[in-house]
Structure 1
Amino acid sequence: MSAMRIFMTSILAFSALAVWTTSGTPLLAAEALPQPETASLATPEQQLDSLFAELKKEREEDRARDIANRIRQQWQDSGSATVNLLMQWADKAIADDKKSMALDILDQVIVLAPNYVEGWNRRATLHYQMGNFRKAMSDVSHVLALEPRHFGALAGMASMLEDAGKSELALRAWQQFLDIYPSDRKAQEQLGELAERLAGSRT
């Protein structure tokens, strides 16, 4: 039996465990945060819209970071116990420096849940870490097609564009980031430094 078939058999065998794990044990550190007030809204989409509206208005850095973490928490939950478990396995493989294994797992996440934003985002990050820059950019593009407000993906895109020498496009990506998350200090600094370098190159 091939390794991938064994892997998929394991997924099915652990489906019941996945339900217990995702309901009984926090998946990620962000889930330990207090539940946002927006939890009473009818749908996850409405909750996200409300959180993004708060993030855009908030100018105090720590409060904005808390809102951003709530948004990340919403993104992390795929709505599928199996996919959530696979994401845990991928995180563990990455932590153990087993990047090829993590990539195989994330490939399966995307097959099972092609509209799950964090599956694409996590794979984009892994591709970048592995030096697969074109694949990373392709995955980032999928993230932004699904969720144009994904500030993490915009930051990743800005960094990759700058590395590729496409400073004007990188500047535009940072501007988009700050339009969504205006109080992020690091993004402000990145934008300022890049704008100065571009201005200097034009004189």
Structure 2
Amino acid sequence: MRHLLLSTPILALAVLASSVYAQGQPAEPPPTAVPQALAADANPSASSTANPIDTLFDALKRERNPEKAKGIAGQIIAEMNDSGSATVNLLMQWSAESIKEKKNAAALDFLDRVTLLDPAFTEGWNRRATLHYTMGDRRKSMADIAEVLKREPRHFGALAGMAGILMEADEDDLALKAWERYLSVYPADRDAQEALSKLSEKIAGNRT
């Protein structure tokens, strides 16, 4: 990880952090992707080099103007939201409508189907991670975030979600690493810069 000189991949942080919420809960089998997630790299695989989204991520990494970067980030989100499958896109639409209507059980069912139909589609996992979080299950949210980052380590939305959950759990050192990784992908995000600065000051203060 370029900005941290870390040997531990960012996905390992998600897996490690999810264990924070396992205490006091019934034993559950770990997500099947956890071993692979521990070995995942922060850089996209060679097989993804021909993907047009790589050009957008490269542009986002180089852009220093916050407004222009926001526009690029929006294009990336639009690309990631399109599964390429009419069925999966419809299930995602239904899940969004259910969430809006506060029908969380129905939304969860739709998203479960998405992850089964197209496990390579990161937004299925990402939206389910968000839903688990809003339903108060941070451990399941972190497990889904790990699935997102296994498939797309540059997913800045998932990285921000992970950082936020870690901060809530007072896992400040892990949260700092997550924000560092986020800013290595999306360096012009002023909100993330501010979050990193405040967290760094908090950690420094706690060590004095």
> TM-score range, shorter-chain basis?
0.7 to 0.9
Equivalent residue number for residue 35 of structure 1: none
- Letter of the 1:149 counterpart: R
- Unpaired stretches in structure 1, ≥5 consecutive residues: 1-42
Equivalent residue number for residue 159 of structure 1: 164
Shift of 1:45: 4.8
Structure 2 CA distance, aligned partners of 1:186 and 1:56?
A: 16
**Matching of residue 90 in structure 1 with residue 95 in structure 2:** yes
- Letter of the 1:87 counterpart: M
Equivalent residue number for residue 118 of structure 1: 123
The structure with the greater share of residues assigned to helix is 1
Q: Give the TM-score normalised by structure 1.
A: 0.78
Could you say what secondary structure the match of 2:153 adopts?
Answer: coil
Q: Deviations over 1:78-107 (max 9, x none)?
A: 110000000000000000011111001100
- Letter of the 2:177 counterpart: R
Shift of 1:165: 1.3
**Matching of residue 74 in structure 1 with residue 75 in structure 2:** no
Q: Aligned pair count? A: 161
Residues 50/158 of structure 1: CA separation in 2 closer, same or farther (3 Å cut): same
Shift of 1:46: 2.7
* Structure with the greater alpha carbon radius of gyration: 1
Structure 2 CA distance, aligned partners of 1:44 and 1:80?
A: 22
Aligned pairs for 1:9-20 within 5 A:
none
Q: Deviations over 1:79-138 (max 9, x none)?
A: 100000000000000000111110011001111111100000000000000001100000
- Unpaired stretches in structure 2, ≥5 consecutive residues: 1-47
Relative contact order, higher structure (CA 8 A, sep 6+)? 2
Structure 2 CA distance, aligned partners of 1:46 and 1:107?
A: 26
Equivalent residue number for residue 175 of structure 1: 180
**Matching of residue 50 in structure 1 with residue 55 in structure 2:** yes
